[in-house]
Amino acid sequence: MPPLPDPESIRLAILPFLAPQVLLFLTFGLGALATAVTMVLYPNPVRSALFLVLNLFCVAVLYLLLNAYFLAVVQVIVYAGAIMVLFLFVIMLLNLGTPDRSKDVLRWQQPVAVVGGLVFALVLGLSVFSTRTLPVLDENGLAPERQKRTFNAAPQAASMLGMSPAGVGSAAGRDTETDTDGSAGGSPVGNGVSAAEGENEQVPTLASKIPVTEHGTVRGIGANLYDPTQPWLFPFEATSILLLVAVIGSVVLAKRRMPGESLAGSRTAEAGLATPDEIVPGGEA
Amino acid sequence: MEPMNPAGEAALQAATAVHPLIPVNGQVPLAWYLILATILFTVGVVGVLVKRNPIVIFMSVELMLNAVNLCLIAFGRYLGNIGGQMISIFVMAVAAAEVAVGLGILISIFRSRESINVDEVNLMQG
């Protein structure tokens, strides 16, 4: 009989797994896994959608563990709230709540898909395990000094916009000035002088003053998102156009066609045929 | 490969002397997040390939996007960089747009043929 290991060594081996953050991760990580697998396995689309909501809640808790407070709230409000309601609405509108009993014409596809997925997971997992030096947080939850790289794209952004870097710097300086004015209430004269002095220097922006642990708060997200020295402002504005296009597109696609509005559509409807015109509105124009 | 910062490399080696899957300093290791995101992404991939109902396929795509978001935020946190959370915001916005347009297309297809089984929608097949 092999000698039993020392109880003290067992305690030391188990101790790292009993930290509160680790226990929370284990609970909600396993919850996310279980709900994801259940979502895929369930034949009923409504139940699948509800399990996906549970999965999104579990992932939101993991975002909280990662100090991404704003994103955790957005996950619950936008994903679990708005997007999943849209899913359930369409499921019930199209009366798809019952499992699909139509004949599966590609019977062999399922085992092939599962095997392919396992191979995919193997490749991804190998790439994770073959990376030996991953960054480690210290006791205060701070990233190691070596990995802290500030991403400053001011020169590239300036050359893209056809501006001189000094112009971007002064813009950043003005931004900082207004921000300090608003939050600290400093004297306007002193701020004006400091902005004039820092015209051609690298002025610290509001985003650079926010500690790493507060990056996930609303203040940290906003300060970084609207910081003209960082590359997030233009994608943010482009996202608004994307959402506008999506709204118009979904309205046009889901619009019910009035009788007599389209000659081609009514003719095919009489004949009981489906043409591309019906699926892609505007094609008959 | 020559280390760029010998002192920092040594400190990192000392910090990761334990196995990278063992929690240190009471913090969750980064590898756990990566492994969880990997499994969630794979479940999403299998869901897309196996399911015949396009709505469930969309939900599997949402699962994959969530796994990528988790990966991005975890890397951003462990590298002390805000970029991960910023890109996650854009991923969420693109996911919302994709769902809106996709469900509009599904309603349009359902109107024209009373069925949205993906195997039967083969109008654009070559």
- Of the candidates A68, A141, A254, the beta carbon closest to that of B73 is on A68
Domains and CATH numbers, chain A: 12-98 (1.20.120.1200), 158-234 (no CATH), 257-285 (no CATH)
Neighbours of A9 (CB within 10 A): 9
- Using the Cβ of B118 and the Cβ atoms of chain A, whether some distance falls under 8 Å is answered with no
Does the predicted model carry a pTM greater than 0.95?
no
What is the per-residue pLDDT for A153?
Answer: 47
Residue A274: pLDDT above 70?
Answer: no
- The residue extents of the domains of chain B are 28-113
CA–CA dist A221, B85 (Å, integer) = 8
CATH of B28-113, one of 1.20.140.10, 3.40.50.2300, 1.10.10.10, 1.10.287.3510: 1.10.287.3510
Contact across the interface for A146 and B113, Cβ inside 8 Å: no
Per residue in A133-172, pLDDT (tens digit) is: 777 777 777 777 654 444 444 444 445 554 444 444 444 4
Helix (H) or strand (E) holding B75: helix B54-78
**pLDDT of A196 over the 60 cut:** no
Q: Report pLDDT digits (tens) over B40-80.
A: 999 999 999 888 888 999 999 999 999 999 999 999 998 88
Give the CA distances from residue A24 to residues A137, A207, A277, in Å, rounded to whole numbers and listed in that order: 17, 30, 53
- Which is more confident, A102 or B117? B117
Question: Which H/E stretch holds residue B100?
Answer: helix B83-113
Predicted confidence (pLDDT) at residue A179 exceeds the cutoff of 50: no
Structure tokens at A59: 């992932």
Contacts of A215 in chain B (CB under 8 A): 76, 82, 85
Q: Are A19 and B27 in contact (CB under 8 A)?
A: yes
DSSP A242-278: HHHHHHHHHHHHHPPPPTTT-HHHHHHHHHT---HHH
Q: Over the stretch A34-51, which tens digit does the pLDDT of each residue have?
A: 999 999 998 889 999 999
Count of H-run helices and E-run strands, chain B: 4, 0
* A11 CA: distance to closest CA in chain B (Å): 14
ipTM, interface predicted TM-score of the complex: 0.83
- Read off the pLDDT of residues B91-124 as tens digits, 9 standing for 90 and up: 999 999 999 999 998 888 888 877 777 777 777 7
Q: Do B123 and A276 touch (CB under 8 A)?
A: yes
